Structure formats: C-alpha cells, structure tokens
Amino acid sequence: MAAGAFTVLNIAKLKMLDGTHDLDTHVFKMALTTSAQALDATFAGTSGNARYSDLTAQVANGNGYTTGGKTLVMSVGRSGGTVTVDCDDQAWTSATFSAKYAVIYNDTAANKDLLCVVDLETGVGTGLSPSNGTLSVTINASGIFTLS
C-alpha cells in the first residue's frame, strides 16, 4: 500500500539538529505496530524521549514479521532550497498479522530514538491485515519528508 505522509515526531526535530539523528550515515529501521498504541507527532512514550523501547505494541514476532523491523536504505538530497529525506519501499511476505503504524527509528543511536511515523490505515479505514500475503509500505513519491 502507498504510505501517506510520514509525521516527524516533535522530539525528533530537535534530535536532527543536535546530532542524535544523522540521516545520511546512521542505520534506520522500519518497525510495525498495532492499533493498541496511539502514535502521532507528540508521542514521547514513558521515557519522555520517544525511544524504540517506548513501542509497547509492536507486531508480534513470527507470521512474516521479525521484531525490530527491516533495515532501510536512506537517502538525503537537495534541490534548490528543498531537502528530501527518502528510503526504499518495504515488504513483509507470508504476512499474517495486523498493523496500524509504520515507525522509522534510528538503530545506530544508543537509545534507538524514533524519527517518524505513518498511519497505515489512512484511506483504508479497516487497518492492514494480510492473511499469508504481502504487506507493502510504498514510500510516497515525495519521500519520507522534506525540509524547505
């Protein structure tokens, strides 16, 4: 499914400026969570710092999903005054699980800080629940997010 617009977490905006998130050299991953945990721009979790450990409703390991998610190939580019952050599309095959959010987090950072989230139900209404199928997250043609 085509991912809607990713929302950069409010706390991640500062982390991009203080060096916690180095978008072109750190390793980032995409994890999937269920609807049991609400995620939006204000999410900070129990740590108060929006960390991977704050994700309490990650899709269970197995049935086509591996805890921790998939490693992304990130890219950062500039055209005029606009910087685009992008990554490769992701697919989970032989998937039999339900997912509501895709979360991108920094696997290099000591605390595995979260960067952004997208609601996979937007425009779908019923969530994504493949049954021994493929769950695909196709990144928007404009990238994950832009800075202009």
Reported pTM: 0.94
Q: If you average pLDDT over each of 36-40, 110-114, 123-127, which comes out highest? A: 110-114
Give the mean pLDDT of 47-62.
97
Q: Could you tell me the pLDDT band of residue 132, with boundaries at 50, 70 and 90?
A: confident
pLDDT given at position 4: 76
Terminal alpha carbon distance of the chain: 27
pLDDT digits (tens, 9 = 90+) for 70-115: 999 999 999 999 999 999 999 999 999 999 999 999 999 999 999 9
Distance, in Å, from the CA atom of 101 to the CA atom of 122, rounded to the nearest integer, reads: 10
Distance, in Å, from the CA atom of 115 to the CA atom of 10, rounded to the nearest integer, reads: 9
pLDDT surpasses 90 at 122: no
